[in-house]
Amino acid sequence: MMPPKPVPRPDRVSLWRYLKLFRHDILSAQPARLYRAWMAEFRTPFFRSYLLNQPDLVAEVLKARPDAFPKSDRVGEGLRPLLGDSVFLTNGETWKRQRRIIDPAFEGGRLRDTFPAMWAAGEQAVARMQTGEVEIEEQMSHAAADVIFRTLFSFPIENAVATRVFHEFRAYQRTQPILNAAAFVPLPRWMPRGHRAQTRASARSIRLLITEIVTRRMVEIGAGAAPDDLATKIMTTADPVTGARFTAEEMVDQVAIFFLAGHETSASALGWALYLLAMFPEWQNKVAAETAVLGDPVDDGGFGVMSHLRISRDVFREALRLYPPVPMMVRENIGPEQFRNRHIRPRSQMVISPWHLHRHERLWDNPDGFDPARWQTDGGKKSAREAYIPFSAGARVCPGAGFAMVEGPLLLAMLIRAFRFEVVKGAEPVPVAHLTVRAKDGILLRVSAR
């Protein structure tokens, strides 16, 4: 079977068409030359934007001098109704304080501690899976949301409050484009930001529901009856510099981004991984063969099984390469810069795009092809070091990256152990980007018991 078709790449795109496509589908707007270019400039009447594909320039922005390139508010404008002042949107000392409190929850043995909750969510995902033609994205959204609630708050998605959050978030992400008007036109802070009424309503509903959960946990912590999970760890960690902890409102902001980053991105990656395995049954059979190591997580086969799921891990990595959940990251330079002999004015937009880097013709062999074996080759490892950033890189790398690289391969292996997935002719998914890279009309696969 042929590799998955890349998104159509026009050779030339007018400014008007680019703006129209960029708002509704960021992927269709990208001309073919950007998958070969080291750097490209994009001009609007209000700002200039630079796409950076050259590895040393990407490293300069993300790793070497991150303070000189804070996150741009142009993307944040569209997400603020839901995420408030979460760690995903803040900069400077506020962001540093938030990371000092959050990072310890994801360090050391916490992955091992959360593994039983991930396993339980995987078992429930297997139990819920139907046979016949199944819309996989919805199933993976449920599974990823279940993982988040079990690991963060120690209860499953079937809990009434968790279920309400799950459905409200689905409504939110369907109505919120990746960029709104404020991303293109600089607006005073007092002016309306162009958010749709349904988007604002869904954001309010989600935050009210998360507030219920956070408030209840604060009471449990005060009574000494809180479970030892990620939420408790974060809410009881004091900033080592100031000694302050998150307030309830601050914690609501952080839980909102945990749900976005930990649920929406994982669901996207799992859906595309299953689609790719359905397209390439020989790789699906390889994953099925290695799942013999999966046993009862309480026994010796617990967290240690992850070291045996090499093929599942490489398949998941390849899905993240071809369909990175977050297709573009935008930074803003504080001062003037000189990149590739171009003078860059302050407050220009530095676009770092996993979507382009991961499919770049000068950085990867067979960039549009599905080849999990590449991760065990010298060439593939070199490409990964230079041009693989599904979780960003440097100081702002996702704190849950290690968490995701356990959750994804584990759930993938558990599902493949139980089921066989096949493509449905005439239902090829088309990737589009809203909050994350999803399929335009979902991912329909034929599922049968293995």
In angstroms, the CA 421 to CA 280 distance is 10
Q: What is the pLDDT of residue 393?
A: 96
Q: What is the pLDDT of residue 92?
A: 93
In angstroms, the CA 386 to CA 393 distance is 11
In angstroms, the CA 186 to CA 129 distance is 46
| CB-CB contact of 139 with 277 (8 Å) | no
DSSP category for residue 436? S
Stated as kind and residue range, the H or E segment containing 197 is helix 197-222
For 136, 425, 432, the CA distances from 369, given in Å and listed in that order, are 22, 20, 18
In which residue are the tokens 């109505």 written? 175
Sort 428 into a burial class: Cβ within 10 Å, 0-12 / 13-18 / 19+: middle
Q: Which of 114, 141, 42, 53 is nearest to 439 (CA)?
A: 141
Q: What is the CB neighbour count within 10 angstroms for residue 343? A: 8
In angstroms, the CA 15 to CA 342 distance is 21
Q: Which of 212, 192, 201 is nearest to 169 (CA)?
A: 201
HEC per residue, 93-145: HHHHHHHHHHHHHHCCCHHHHHHHHHHHHHHHHHHHCCCEEEEHHHHHHHHHH
Fold of 15-449: Cytochrome p450 (1.10.630)
48-52 and 349-352: which strand pairing? parallel
Q: What is the pLDDT of residue 190?
A: 38
What letter represents residue 66's amino acid? P
pLDDT tens track, the chain, 450 positions: 455 656 666 566 555 555 555 444 567 667 788 899 999 998 877 778 899 999 999 999 999 999 999 998 776 666 777 888 899 889 999 999 999 999 999 886 788 889 999 999 999 999 999 999 999 998 998 999 999 999 999 999 877 777 777 777 777 766 655 544 444 444 444 344 444 576 678 788 888 888 999 999 999 999 999 999 999 999 999 999 999 999 999 999 999 888 877 788 899 999 999 999 999 999 999 999 999 888 766 554 588 899 999 999 999 999 999 999 988 888 999 999 999 999 999 999 899 999 999 999 999 999 999 999 999 999 999 999 999 999 999 999 999 899 999 999 999 999 999 999 999 999 999 888 777 888 888 899 999 999
pTM score of the predicted model: 0.90
What letter represents residue 295's amino acid? G
Q: What is the pLDDT of residue 352?
A: 93
| CB-CB contact of 357 with 388 (8 Å) | yes
Stated as kind and residue range, the H or E segment containing 274 is helix 265-279
Q: What is the pLDDT of residue 184?
A: 42
Q: In this structure, what is the dihedral angle of CA atoms 314, 315, 316, 319, given to the nearest 10 degrees? A: 120
Q: Six-digit token pair at 311? A: 């093929």
In angstroms, the CA 449 to CA 418 distance is 6
Q: Which of 320, 394, 319 is nearest to 350 (CA)?
A: 394
Beta strands in 232-384 (DSSP E): 329-332, 337-339, 342-344, 349-352
Q: What is the pLDDT of residue 180?
A: 42
In angstroms, the CA 401 to CA 407 distance is 10
Q: What is the pLDDT of residue 264?
A: 81
| CB-CB contact of 413 with 109 (8 Å) | no
Half-sphere exposure of 277 (CA within 13 A, CB side): 31
Q: What is the DSSP string of 228-267?
A: SSHHHHHHTPPPTTT-----HHHHHHHHHHHHIIIIIHHH
Q: Which of 62, 66, 137, 57 is nearest to 360 (CA)?
A: 57
In which residue are the tokens 């909750």 written? 117
**Residue-range domain boundaries for the chain:** 15-449
Stated as kind and residue range, the H or E segment containing 437 is strand 437-439
In angstroms, the CA 68 to CA 303 distance is 39
Q: Six-digit token pair at 16? A: 């008007």
Residue 134 forms beta bridges with which residues?
Answer: 445
In angstroms, the CA 70 to CA 333 distance is 7
| CB-CB contact of 54 with 171 (8 Å) | no
For 229, 293, 365, 375, the CA distances from 310, given in Å and listed in that order, are 28, 11, 21, 10
